[in-house]
């Protein structure tokens, strides 16, 4: 369950934006601010916070979605995506329980004495956390958060890719990073994506990050994609690749329909760890 912050101060400059001032009521303004701060809001939390019925909250969310300010998901809504991503700290709270389960499941597919890439992402960081009990691993990463998590472990050797560091999330990206990655050929790659469309395209927001992800895919013998189901409800403008290039896809739940057919057609192994939020959306 994602918990939204208890309060946002009146000094928050977002309070005075034209978008917020144009909303139907104060509650919708506050809902949008909460979604921007936490990445996701739930019907249950909002109904309790504002002391209204779930039906009232669902109407508010539908109104915000009609204006393309939020995107409806099971049990709540997330900030609409398009050409820019959510703040990295906010993304940590989106599907947090699911990401932890995905990370633990993916880590079980990494044997001891393996070499692997881990790219930038809050879900790939959960994989890194779950590797703590492994032995004799070599981890190459462009994610400073992953390096910070793993370097104290005496059983894991960590190599950090060179290049400029993106201040917003600790990603190392750029031409130097791509060239660095191409020096290696590893056993496994653990990658994430910001969005996955119904055609099976893996999408992200920063073309520099995408170039690093492409290099990682091309230089690994076995590619593991880790992504929660909300990635199927988002969009992003830059193509990383296609799900057919993946060997194993670990998710909480794979949507029925075309994407499942694509995985079957290309012999992509899918592991579903289960959904942790159950609520009927009217």
| Domains of the chain, CATH where assigned | 13-80 (1.10.10.10), 90-272 (3.40.50.1360)
pLDDT confidence band for 263 (50 / 70 / 90): very high
Contacts of 150 (CB under 8 A, 6+ apart): 128, 131, 139, 141, 156, 158
Encode pLDDT of 249-258 as tens digits: 999 999 878 9
What pLDDT is recorded for position 72? 79
Task: Between 205 and 281, name the one with better pLDDT.
Answer: 205
Encode pLDDT of 29-59 as tens digits: 899 888 877 777 899 999 999 999 999 999 9
Q: What is the pTM of this model?
A: 0.74
Nearest alpha carbon to residue 61 among 19, 22, 18, 24 = 24
Rg of the chain over Cα atoms, rounded to whole angstroms, equals 19
What is the Cα–Cα distance from 76 to 41, expressed in whole angstroms?
6
What is the Cα–Cα distance from 49 to 6, expressed in whole angstroms?
8
In the chain, what is the straight-line distance between the N-terminal and C-terminal CA atoms, in Å?
19
Mean pLDDT across the chain, nearest whole number?
86
What pLDDT is recorded for position 138? 98
Percent of the chain with pLDDT over 90: 65
């Amino acid at each position: 369950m994602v918990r939204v912050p208890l309060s946002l101060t009146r000094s928050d400059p977002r309070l005075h934006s034209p978008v917020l001032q144009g909303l139907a009521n104060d509650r919708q303004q506050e809902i949008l601010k909460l979604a921007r701060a936490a990445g996701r809001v739930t019907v249950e939390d909002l109904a309790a916070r504002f002391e209204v019925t779930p039906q009232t909250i669902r109407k508010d969310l539908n109104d915000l979605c009609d204006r393309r300010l939020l995107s409806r998901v099971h049990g709540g809504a997330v900030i609409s995506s398009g050409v820019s991503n959510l703040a990295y700290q906010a993304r940590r709270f989106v599907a947090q329980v699911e990401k932890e389960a995905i990370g633990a499941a993916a880590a079980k597919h990494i044997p001891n004495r393996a070499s692997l890439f881990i790219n930038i992402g809050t879900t790939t960081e959960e994989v890194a956390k779950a590797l703590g009990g492994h032995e004799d691993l070599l981890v190459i990463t462009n994610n400073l958060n992953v390096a910070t998590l793993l370097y104290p472990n005496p059983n894991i050797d960590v190599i950090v890719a060179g290049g400029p560091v993106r201040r917003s999330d600790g990603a190392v990206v750029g031409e130097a990073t791509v060239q660095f990655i191409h020096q290696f050929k590893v056993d496994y790659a653990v990658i994430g994506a910001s969005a996955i469309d119904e055609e099976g395209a893996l999408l992200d927001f920063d073309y520099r990050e995408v170039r690093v992800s492409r290099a990682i895919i091309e230089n690994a013998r076995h590619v593991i994609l880790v992504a929660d189901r909300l990635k199927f409800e988002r969009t992003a403008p830059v193509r990383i690749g296609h799900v057919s290039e993946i060997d194993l896809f670990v998710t909480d739940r794979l949507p029925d329909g075309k994407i499942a057919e694509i995985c079957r057609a290309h012999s992509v192994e899918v592991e579903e760890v289960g959904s942790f939020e159950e609520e009927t959306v009217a």
